[in-house]
Amino acid sequence: MSNSNAGLQSLLTGNLGAVVIAGAAGKDAEDIVASDVTLVTLLVDSSSSIHDRGLEDAVRDGQNALVDALADTRERDSILMALWTFASDVRVVHSYVGLDDVTRLDEKSYAGLGSTRLYDTWCDALTANVSYAEQLRSSGTPCKSVVVVVTDGEDCGSKRRAADCARISKIVLASEQFTLAFVGVGAGDFRTIARQMGIPDGCIAVQAKATPSAIRQVFRMVSQSAIRASQGRIAPGPNAGFFSP
């Protein structure tokens, strides 16, 4: 076993809590027709500040548009998507499914309420992704992973810290199978936060204006980059330039 694969395996030791298990329960390998797969994990902030700023509709619209954009590509059958939201609770809306089965955020499935458990969500989502990806690889399906978090606030309420995020980020990036990206919306020092979480500079985007139009633009940007990654035009790993033109 290579050092990078040993590192990935180490993440699964003692870390398979209920949220991680839910996040790793994706589409069965025998039901996947593509010869290789891109796993897209979208982590969306659903804290009170989203509601207070009147951004809920824009987030819903943006996520719906992102799914439409991915579904409109030649690579659509090779993309599986997981959707998480996070506030005071970390919620796996669904684990890895085909694009036709992705939940579209609406008033019932998405509302801003609570704190911002950014670090807990990041650690759990990466661990769940590793677990599911290992299941696919063991069945003979190669895969690469794109994990994107969109947040308008700094962490509040997590048990884990930025250093815990950075440790896991380093392990998965060393495998050269992961692209990790961070989008911060608003006036926070998001670039510093993302760096502390171990996210490469070329995969950090900051939109200083927390407005509905800015949120929609953020999701357009994420969808364009996710498409490029699924097409192999963005190499995974610590030097990835997810948001480079």
User: What confidence tens digit (pLDDT) does each residue in 151-177 have?
Assistant: 999 999 999 999 999 999 999 999 999
Buried b (16+ CB within 10 A) or exposed e, 144-155: bbbbbbbbbbbb
Whole-Å CA distances, 119 to 43, 59, 125, 241: 11, 20, 10, 22
How does residue 238 score in pLDDT terms, banded at 50, 70 and 90? confident
The residues, ordered by sequence, that sit 6+ positions from 149 with a Cβ below 8 Å of its Cβ are: 43, 44, 45, 118, 121, 122, 181, 182, 183
Q: Taking 90 as the threshold, does the pLDDT of residue 9 lie above it? A: no
Q: Is the pLDDT of residue 1 over 70?
A: no
Contact 198, 126 (CB under 8 A): no
Q: What is the overall mean pLDDT for the chain?
A: 91
- Whole-angstrom CA distances from 79 to 15, 33, 40, 48, 129 are 26, 11, 7, 31, 14
5 has pLDDT over 80: no
How far CA 123 is from CA of 21, 160, 195, 221, in Å, comes to 13, 8, 15, 24
CB 177 within 8 A of CB 145: yes
The two three-digit tokens of residue 172, written as one number = 């998965």
Res. 146: pLDDT tops 80: yes
Backbone phi, psi, residue 242, to 5°: -60, -40
pLDDT in tens, 16-69: 678 888 888 888 878 887 788 999 999 999 999 999 999 999 999 999 999 999
pLDDT band with cut points at 50, 70 and 90 for residue 14: low
Percent of the chain residues past pLDDT 70, beyond the cut: 93
Mean pLDDT, rounded, for 109-125: 96
Structural domains of the chain in order of their starting residue, each with its CATH number? 3-28+37-230 (3.40.50.410)
Please, which pLDDT band fits residue 13 given cuts at 50, 70 and 90? Answer: low
